[in-house]
Amino acid sequence: MSNLEKQGKVKKKSKYILEPPQRKVFIEKILPTLLIGSIIWLIGEIVFSYFFSETQLTGAFLVFYISMIVVDVVLFLLFYFVAKSNKILLGLVIFFLFCFIAGIISIPIVIFTEYLPQVHMFVSLAVGANSIVYIIALSLRYRYFAKGYIWAHVVLFIFGFLLVEIVFIIVFNIGNYLLTIPITFAYICVVALTVMFYGAKAVKKADKIPWLLVTYKILGLLLLVILLALVFVVIVLIIIALAIICGDAVGDFSGIGSIGSGTSKKKKKKEQL
Each residue of 186-233: pLDDT tens digit?
A: 888 888 999 999 999 888 877 778 999 999 999 999 888 777 766 776
What predicted TM-score, i.e. pTM, was given to this entire model?
0.78
DSSP state of 50: H
Q: Which of 43, 60, 61, 63 is nearest to 52 (CA)?
A: 61
d(CA 98, CA 92): 10
* Pairwise pLDDT comparison (255 vs 155), residue with the higher score: 155
Specify the pLDDT at position 223.
87
Q: What is the mean pLDDT of the chain?
A: 80
Output the DSSP codes for 19-66. Answer: PHHHHHHIIIIIHHHHHHHHHHHHHHHHHHHHHHTT----HHHHHHHH
Answer whether residue 3 shows pLDDT above 60. no
The 10s digit of each residue's pLDDT in 59-80 is: 787 888 899 999 999 999 999 9
